[in-house]
Amino acid sequence: MKGPNYSATELLARLVNFDTTSHKSNMALVRFVEDYLAQRGVACQLVVNPEGSKANLFATVGPANVPGVALSGHTDVVPVEGQNWTSDPFVLAERDGRFYGRGTADMKGFLACALAAVPDFQRRKLKVPIHIAFSYDEEIGCIGVRPMIAEFGNNFVKPRIVIVGEPTSMTVVDAHKGPVRWQVDIEGRAAHSSMAHLGANAITAAGNLLGELRLIEKELMVAPRDDRFDPPHATLQVVRINGGTATNIVPVSCRVDFDLRALPGVDANIIDQRVRAFVARECLPEMQQVAPEARISISIANQVPPFAAGANSEAVALALNLAGQNETHAVSYATEAGLFQDAGSPSVVIGPGDIAQAHTADEWIAKEQIEKCSGFLGRLADWAEN
């Protein structure tokens, strides 16, 4: 029944082989992990998406129905299209102490270390179980993990601690920003440009809104501030505009997308309400005087909560202890940690590889990072035994 034991490097090679770009299925990878664990007598539970094309995987080593430490990672990777790779991105290549391949840093390196550690976890007499929690669709807005988190406290035990193994070069990250993306669709009324008074100009309304968004942006630069972040404040900016049809037509429609990177403590709902109130007060009435059918719809296209572990986090204390460090870091990129933390599982981010390599052509992870992570997980097992 028992399959061969694989090193983290061998597992990394296998995982990189699966092209799990977010828009593709991750089921082949999930089946591989399921088989690997089943051969060791570890049962998996899957949370499959409605289409049946993707799944989260949850498994427990050690006592059942006891809240344990979850090793969390996403199985999906970003596309390689348009990137100039030296070798096949889906075949692990070793050069100069580095492993090259899509997802090596972000974040199949961590998945491989976690899976490679399972036989060691099984040899121990774990008092605190160790969970494997692998998600899908992280790269497109931390979408996939949400139905798995919804199972915590229901079909799955809610983890006592979540270690999110995103690439931090094995340093301890206890805070990150939360991205929120809005989509604003403005519909006015078209008219011949020479008859401007007969139309409701959607771009003019968008211009009003841009002014307000700039005000919010400036306010966010002042407060709240946290010098651990770079930049040390929340940012808000318009990231895309589409509007108008021709130079001789009053623009009937305009779409504005804007992006917030919220510091922990910045409430996106307050910004959402402010924008809605501004639009209702300053943009729509003017348009509706001419065109009663004018509409402005505002929606949040995606939202990932910011993450702050807080001062007395058991997760952070454990990670610092296992990593032999005494300093934590804050980062500007988002992870699933905010979602876990908000769902009631104290979380921390620490994983092998450098975020600077993530999403790049010739993405790589240093061999030494894999070794460091494996050492960290060995010490986690020591801790979980006692």
Point out which residues bind Zn ion (CB under 5 A).
106-107, 166
Contacts of 125 (CB under 8 A, 6+ apart): 385
CB of 55 to Zn ion, least distance (A): 18
Burial of residue 144 (CB within 10 Å: 0-12, 13-18, 19+) is buried
Q: Which of 23, 82, 9 is nearest to 359 (CA)?
A: 82
Assigned token pair, 147: 């139905």
Element (H or E) spanning 183, and its range?
A: strand 178-187
CB of 165 to Zn ion, least distance (A): 9
Residue with smaller CB distance to Zn ion, 204 or 357: 357
Residue nearest to Zn ion (CB): 106
49, 136 contact by CB (below 8 A): yes
CB of 228 to Zn ion, least distance (A): 21
CB of 47 to Zn ion, least distance (A): 19
CB of 50 to Zn ion, least distance (A): 24
155, 46 contact by CB (below 8 A): no
CA separation for the pair 148, 182 (Å, rounded): 25
CA separation for the pair 16, 103 (Å, rounded): 7
Residue with smaller CB distance to Zn ion, 187 or 363: 363
Q: Which of 372, 17, 306, 13 is nearest to 168 (CA)?
A: 372
Residue with smaller CB distance to Zn ion, 61 or 337: 337
Residue with smaller CB distance to Zn ion, 141 or 231: 141
CB of 107 to Zn ion, least distance (A): 5
Residue with smaller CB distance to Zn ion, 166 or 363: 166
CA separation for the pair 185, 124 (Å, rounded): 57
CA separation for the pair 163, 44 (Å, rounded): 19
CB of 3 to Zn ion, least distance (A): 28
CA separation for the pair 132, 112 (Å, rounded): 11
Angle formed at CA 189 by CA 188 and CA 192, multiple of 5 degrees: 135
